[in-house]
Amino acid sequence: MFIWLFILILLGIYINFLSKKNAFKKLFYSIKFSKEIVEIGEEFEIISIIENKKIYPITYLNISQEYPEEFEFIEGNNFKGAYKTKMSVLPFQRVKRSFKVSCLKRGRYILKNAEITCGDLFGFETMTQFYESFAEIVVLPKSYSLKKLTPYGSYTGDISVKRWIIEDPLVNIGIKEYTGREPLKQIHWPSSLKHQKIMVKEYDFTTDNNLLIALNIETCKPFWQKIDGDAIERCISITRSLVDEFESLKVPYGLISNAQNFLNSTLYRPGLGLNHRLKILESLGRIDYSIFCPFEDIIKTKNSIKNTTIVVITPIILDEYVSPINNLIKFYQKVVLITLNTNNIGKVAKQIEIYFEGE
């Protein structure tokens, strides 16, 4: 009897030794998001998978995974930046867990390495190992109410995106009733006499008509000295709203920016459609507060595409921007400037349509 007990003890010690030695052997961990791109506040899932592909069970397993502080766990699961879960895993078992989450801020978020701790068969000792993992999600910028923008100088009334689009008087698509906003030269007198009310010619946008948005995220010189993150976020949101407006109007648009991680160099080409819009919005979601060159260099560069309108969006008009912005009227039929304050606004050429944030 004593011999069998001794054999069982030895066998248990040996199995426990093997469980420690092979704790992380054929143990796999992965994590992913249920969506790649989401809006602010949109619900998505974080899915973690642990898989034990060996004949030994893992009686104690602890996973510690860090999460961005901007993540808000739904259903009361607030992990304060790190989530820890404990479990036991049987031989050849695959455990999948998911959590519903939303994100409160625009940006690119990455989940990286996890810390996994395993215990031996009898719970006497623990071993820890880091597992490499990678999951990425992009949170798009929120929309901005363009009604918050106030026209400057001789321009009056609410902001009108349609006014930035150049109409071609050679493309007449019909006749419509006069609303009071059309110039007198558009009145069609024969139709006015026929209908006994003022009628005007209605024009459509030409296929050559397109817009370029130039987004600046530089708020001072040098850029890193005083970064105004709130102003940059508002400019990004304004850009998103304009993209949605141009898409709804079916007018081709493109985007350039001096953001460091604005890596899609083809977005300056005018385009339309859900795919083009999503690529631009995703790029806006990925932007951080670093720049790869001063903004004045961006707008000095001659674009190979002949855009009819350029819309400049900047948190502030620095002294270095004034001359390059004024020179834009030489290359575009219409130049629109949107800024968040009135710094240097009086130095901008009168031909440029200006909007600023405020009363």
pLDDT in tens, 137-152: 999 999 998 888 888 8
Instruction: Say whether both 192 and 317 belong to one domain.
Output: no
Closest CA to 285 of 151, 106, 110: 106
* Structural domain contains residue 11: no
For residue 131, pLDDT beyond 50: yes
User: Which residue range is the domain that position 333 belongs to?
Assistant: 146-165+206-357
Instruction: Say whether both 199 and 86 belong to one domain.
Output: no
- With 0.85 as the threshold, say if the pTM is over it: no
- Higher per-residue confidence, 261 vs 93: 93
* Structural domain contains residue 12: no
Domain count of the fold of the chain: 3
296 confidence band (pLDDT: 50, 70, 90): very high
Instruction: Say whether both 211 and 342 belong to one domain.
Output: yes
Instruction: Say whether both 296 and 152 belong to one domain.
Output: yes
278 confidence band (pLDDT: 50, 70, 90): very high
* Structural domain contains residue 218: yes
* Structural domain contains residue 9: no
Name the DSSP letter for residue 317.
-
| Range with the poorest average pLDDT among 10-14, 84-88, 283-287, 309-313 | 10-14
* Structural domain contains residue 17: no
CATH of the domain at 99: 2.60.40.10
Instruction: Say whether both 92 and 199 belong to one domain.
Output: no
CATH of the domain at 285: 3.40.50.410
Instruction: Say whether both 90 and 121 belong to one domain.
Output: yes
Instruction: Say whether both 304 and 333 belong to one domain.
Output: yes
CB-count burial class (<10 Å; 0-12, 13-18, 19+) for 145: exposed
* Structural domain contains residue 231: yes
CA distance 340 to 232: 10
Instruction: Say whether both 153 and 289 belong to one domain.
Output: yes
Residue range 304-323: mean pLDDT, rounded:
88
Instruction: Say whether both 230 and 295 belong to one domain.
Output: yes
For residue 265, pLDDT beyond 50: yes
Here the tokens at position 341 are 């304050």
CA distance 109 to 135: 8
Q: How many CB atoms lie within 10 A of CB 226?
A: 9
* Percentage of the chain exceeding pLDDT 90: 39
Q: Note the pLDDT of residue 74.
A: 82
